[in-house]
Structure 1
Amino acid sequence: MQPISGFSKLNKKEKINWLTENYLKDSKQAKKILKQYWNDDAELQRLHDEFSENTISNYYMPFGIAPNFLIDGNLYAIPMAIEESSVVAAASKAAKYWLDRGGFHTKILGNKKLGHVHFMFKGDDQKLKAFFNSNLKDILKADTSSITKNMEKRGGGILSLELVNKSAQIPYYYQIEAKFDTRDSMGANFINSCLEQFAKTLERELAKDESFTQEEKDSLQIVMCILSNFTPENMVRAEVRCKVEDLAEEGISAEEFVEKFSLAVKIAEVEPYRATTHNKGIMNGIDAVVIATGNDFRAVEADAHTYASKDGTYTSLTHCEVKDGEFRFWLDLPIALGTVGGLTSLHPLVKFSLDLLGNPDAQKLMGIVAVAGLAQNFAALRSLTTVGIQKGHMKMHLYNILNQLGANTREREYFTVFFRDKTVTHHAVVEEFMRIRKLKSLDDL
């Protein structure tokens, strides 16, 4: 096998031919798999091809709907793009549960996003501080006026500029920390463009400032200019609350349910091994809506997990309390989303998702996404502390096994009844499948 030069310059057919002929035993079957996921609409396929580089096919994920979400008095059907079994079902179940208990409530806790110019300076830090605080802030803003003009018309822009001395962590290391309001856009390109101009202005202004020696001027080194995906000042809270007596479950009193539920949350607050799985479940709900609405789920994941670790120990993103006979369960989530730009005006299903949600602004979408995460966590904890997590999950696992075996409709119906009161395992499903098909082994299929 030899490396290839100029792969990106090949057309799609040439890329597929090279890939399948060099890496796959059955080139013909591989090509068939890739091509069966192409869109029949050539223009739509071209659009998808241009979303990324070296595209050879489309990768589909189930696009589902979780209905009956009452959020701040409005009823929503939430789009979710996810492949994991039971996530949409669990969210839907939690939405229906809280529909008659007041629904979900959201509150924006902040709308500031951050970016930094990271630079080195081997000079007098007090002199640098005085230089920054004299009139450099105004010059930085003036030099980015052409970039910020349209954002300011929408009510956003640069909120603050600060010099941060990080030389205790790394010798000679400083930052220009900038905070932004990017309104309904996620704002990455806007923020990074501003930061790059800040760096140019810093170099120019320091070079002509007579208070610095030539040696100090020469020591300035711009390392990088980049937004941060950690947004502790761009936060949303989602919560549910009701009287404790309204939480009675079949076979368990309201008081016992709340006690076990509260303990489950407290365990996730103090035990990182549990917190990781606990928060993963929250992100099942969050990521599914983030993907469906064309936002960056990797940034959202990084943001949430950094926030969960901000105090030095990885902990739960959700919390609960009982006070004066009222149960309250909430999620504080740092998250940066956009409803304009990116895929929001290009991807047909993204446009559909936003239309379905009433074309929310960025802050409303933050609330909807946080609610999906809270609902997912509530559903998981409710199952864990009552009937157990496997009951609903294994039903979908059963279907996945049957699909792998090529079961027909009648066989799927039979297995649904057969395993109604039995534990689903791969071995048990295969064994019963072979029995009703009268197979000696799966090789006889």
Structure 2
Amino acid sequence: MTKFIKFYQKKWHYRLITLLNDDLISDDEKTEIETHALNHELGDQITENYIADFTLPEGIAFNYLVDGKKMTVPMVTEEPSVIAANNNGAKIIATAGGFTTKIESRLMIGQVILENIDDADNVINQINEHQLDLIKIANTARPSLVKRGGGARWVRVRKLAADLISVDLAIDVQEAMGANSVNTMMEAVGETLQTQFKQDVLMSILSNYATDSLVESSCSIPFTLLDSAGISGEHIAKKIVSASRLAQLDPYRAVTHNKGIMNGIDAVLIALGNDWRAVEAGAHAYASKDGQYRGLTKWSIVSDNLVGIIKLPMPIGVVGGSIDIVPMVKINKKMMGIKSAKELASLVASVGLAQNLAALKALVSEGIQKGHMGLQLKSLAVKVGAVDEEVAQLTELLKNENRPDTEVATKKLNELRKKGDN
């Protein structure tokens, strides 16, 4: 009798054969997948049911001056305008003296959720009386973290409903993102609450809402550095302040405002092997902390300067997980010269502020599409088959078209090639 082998148990090559035999891919597609399996041994360690590496382009942003230190920033993104805009925003801010950052603490929050509570106040009092015991239990579960100077710092108990309580622990995870450490420690605390305190535990897990891992980045830009295409820097500064106010008042605008910020932040976090999804979730929750979704940045005018500030949770790390094993992540870390999680958090927040400056400046002056279109037209040229020097030539031709699309681009490319043949 032939033993059935599950997909994840199969060797990489046989996974592809399975997909081929099931008519999910063709022979040519199998060959294409094989060319994108850059390191299937490593891929098997990182993801489940690995078949190939899905690559995104990586570029570099320069011009960063954060707390007096010059930095080069790798960014992974498929959006053509993100890095160009980021470079522009960072250059303006660097010329004005750079970014100044502040981090008050760097703690992750873990939760043990207790349900079916009969007397919430009594349970809360009982847990509060044993806070030091719970901290000790948590730290015992992760002695290596404590040895490095980290560990549980404090306990907080919150009544979510008459029958539901959250026992929160704040944990110093040192230089790591810390998800595994926090989860391990919370499960140990949860087991104690269940066995010794006789409480029903619904779940024990970290929270990605890292309100005790906030980072703030700010900048001050003289009006003269904002002059653009005949528009005075003072006028642009006032418009940016108005746009910032709009993002505080209108959630419809705030979502797009923050999406632009995360364009830059996500691109850096992906390049550094961090959990960008966790940062996204925490950032958007923080944008809603007062009950309405608002922009993550605020811009104001002080004397003859445009002053910007961004503040958001930043639960990131420089060690652990894929950070230590993915070759490009290790290269990117070296390129950036960043040694600590706090230094990385300061940079990432600054990237978000630079991205926002570039976007708002474009919006209130020449419009967002002018900068976007040149890069989008280049992508369109590649899409219709332009190669080498044809890409630049076709892009220039498409700039003169009112409504450039695939049909127009294909026609212009054919005309360009006929002209070249002649």
Which position in structure 1 is the counterpart of 2:213?
Answer: 234
Kindly state the Cα deviation for residue 314 of structure 1 after the two structures are TM-superposed: 1.5
Give SS of 1:67's match: strand
Partner SS state of residue 132, structure 1: helix
What is the Cα-based RMSD across aligned positions, in Å?
Answer: 2.0
SS in 1 for 2:356: helix
Deviations 1:331-355 (A, max 9, x none): 1111100111111211111111111
What is aligned with 2:302?
A: 323
Q: Aligned partners of 2:403, 2:60: CA distance in 1, in Å?
A: 26
Alpha-carbon shift at residue 195 of structure 1 (Å): 0.7
Match of 1:184 in 2: 175
1:48 matched to 2:43: yes
> Closer, same or farther in 2 for the Cα pair 1:425/1:122, shift >3 Å?
same
3-state SS in 2 of match to 1:392: helix
Residue 350 (structure 1) aligns with: 329
1:122 and 2:117 aligned:
yes
Distance 2:358 2:335 in 1: 23
Structure 2 residues without counterparts, runs of 5 or longer: none
Q: For residue 411 of structure 2, what is the aligned residue in structure 1?
A: 431
Percent of aligned positions that are identical: 34
Q: In the comparison of the two structures, how many residue pairs are matched? A: 415
Q: Residues 184 and 339 of structure 1 are in contact (CA less than 8 Å); yes or no, is this contact kept in structure 2?
A: yes
- Map 1:20-419 to 2 at 5 A: 20-24=20-24, 27-39=26-38, 44-134=39-129, 136-167=130-161, 171-207=162-198, 220-419=199-398
Report the CA distance between 1:23 and its aligned residue.
4.0
Which runs of no fewer than 5 residues in structure 1 stay unpaired? Answer: 208-219, 440-445
Give 1:82 shift: 1.0
CA distance in 2 between partners of 1:145 and 1:333 (Å): 28
Query: How many angstroms apart in 1 are the aligned matches of 2:7 and 2:192?
Result: 39
Specify the alignment match of 1:217 in structure 2: none
Q: Is the 8 A contact 2:394 2:416 kept in 1?
A: no
Which shows bigger deviation, 46-55 or 421-430? 421-430
AA aligned to 2:167 is: I
The answer to whether the 8 Å contact 1:398/1:424 transfers is no
Asked if the contact 1:121–1:174 (Cα under 8 Å) also holds between the matched residues in 2, the reply is no
Name the CA distance, whole Å, in 2 between partners of 1:250 and 1:429: 29
Give the corresponding residue for 1:7.
7
2:197 match: secondary structure: helix
Alpha carbons 1:285, 1:372 under 8 Å: kept: yes
- Report the structure number with the largest CA radius of gyration: 1
SS state of the match for residue 231, structure 1? coil
267-276 or 342-351, larger mean C-alpha shift: 267-276
CA distance in structure 2 between the partners assigned to 1:127 and 1:88 by the alignment? 55
TM-score w.r.t. length of structure 2: 0.93
CA distance in 1, matches of 2:178, 2:11: 32
How far residue 5 of structure 1 moved from its aligned partner, in angstroms, is 7.5
Contact 2:152 2:169 in 1 (8 A): yes
